[in-house]
Amino acid sequence: MTMSAELHAMQPIEATVQATSAARLRRVARPLLGLVLPLLFAGGWELVVDIGWSSGRLVPPPSRIITTIADLARSGELSRHISVTLARVGIGFGLGVAAGTLLGGIGGYWTMARRLIDPTVQALRAIPSIAWVPLFILWLGIFETSKVALIAVGVFFPVYLGLTGAILSVDRKIVEVGRIFRLSGPAMIRRILLPAVLPAYVVSLRVALGLGWMFVVAAEFMGASEGLGYLLIDGQQLGKPAQIVAAIVIFAIIGKVTDWLLEIGTAPLLRWQDNFARNGGGR
């Protein structure tokens, strides 16, 4: 009887351990699923070149791209170019987020400010990024300031639009509840508006980060002698397709890693959500 009771007591513990192990396995396996398509494409293209169906001259196979990346890493060029580009994106992203958050918060919360600010912002948003390049060069020169300013411009607009739209879309009933409880302006922002706008704001930050990586390429076309954008230009001028594709691959990897870090960093702010994704999505 005693052994039977002990076995029955151990069964829930074993089930809990198995469930925990399965959950950990799923957490590890889910990110790896994202590698399936790139690896299949890379392996397929390598096979096409090996068979001889393509010379791989204009679109080099993965083995040649890996060799190019390894050569750049051994020479020390790769780390230098990556660090320069990361610094530019980091500073530009920070400045753009600060400006977008400030103006977006003001424009979303105060109607009169929105009527004053929004038309100008929307008009400036329609200007192509490349159109800012000659102006920034004239104003700020061809050095770091103009490059960071261009990245900040690209980051600013999605943050501003995302935050303004999120504030304007807050459910009116929630705001009325706050007024019924006579919350002050700061308390209304902290307890009502901030939790309501955070999900959309985080999405706008991720969009802005992606645009920051896009704008840094345009920025590094402005007479840069360092950075991953410079590797692209150098590969084009010297006829090195492997270097061009290697720079593109590095952009993709770093962009994904920074987006993942941003997602992890903002996850604690959204733990309160009980949404479709948290419940398993479409599985």
Note the pLDDT tens digit of each residue in 197-240. 888 899 999 999 999 999 998 888 777 788 888 888 888 888 88
Helices (H) and strands (E) in the chain, counts: 12, 0
What's the confidence (pLDDT) of residue 103? 93
pLDDT at residue 51, rounded to an integer: 86
Side chain identity at 71, as an amino acid letter? D
Q: Is the pLDDT of residue 9 over 90?
A: no
pLDDT in the model for residue 198:
87
Average pLDDT, the chain: 82
Q: Who has greater pLDDT, 146 or 32?
A: 146
pLDDT at residue 7, as a whole number: 45
Q: Minimal CA–CA distance to 191: which of 205, 177, 172?
A: 177
265 pLDDT higher than 80: yes
Close Cβ partners of 134 (under 8 Å, ≥ 6 residues apart): none
Radius of gyration of the chain (CA): 25
pLDDT at 128 over 50: yes
When pLDDT is averaged across residues 31-49 and rounded to a whole number, the result is 81
* pTM beyond 0.95, yes or no: no
Residues 235-257: b if buried by 16+ CB within 10 A, e if exposed: beeeebbbbbbbbbbbbeebbee
151, 216 Cβ separation under 8 angstroms: yes
Q: Which residue carries 């999505």 as its tokens?
A: 281
**Choice between 195 and 73, residue whose per-residue pLDDT is larger:** 73
- pLDDT value at residue 212: 93
What domains can you pick out in the chain, each with its CATH number?
A: 44-270 (1.10.3720.10)
Class of residue 81 by CB neighbours under 10 A (exposed 0-12, middle 13-18, buried 19+): buried
pLDDT at 151 over 90: yes
| Tens-digit pLDDT profile for residues 84-106 | 999 999 999 999 999 999 999 89
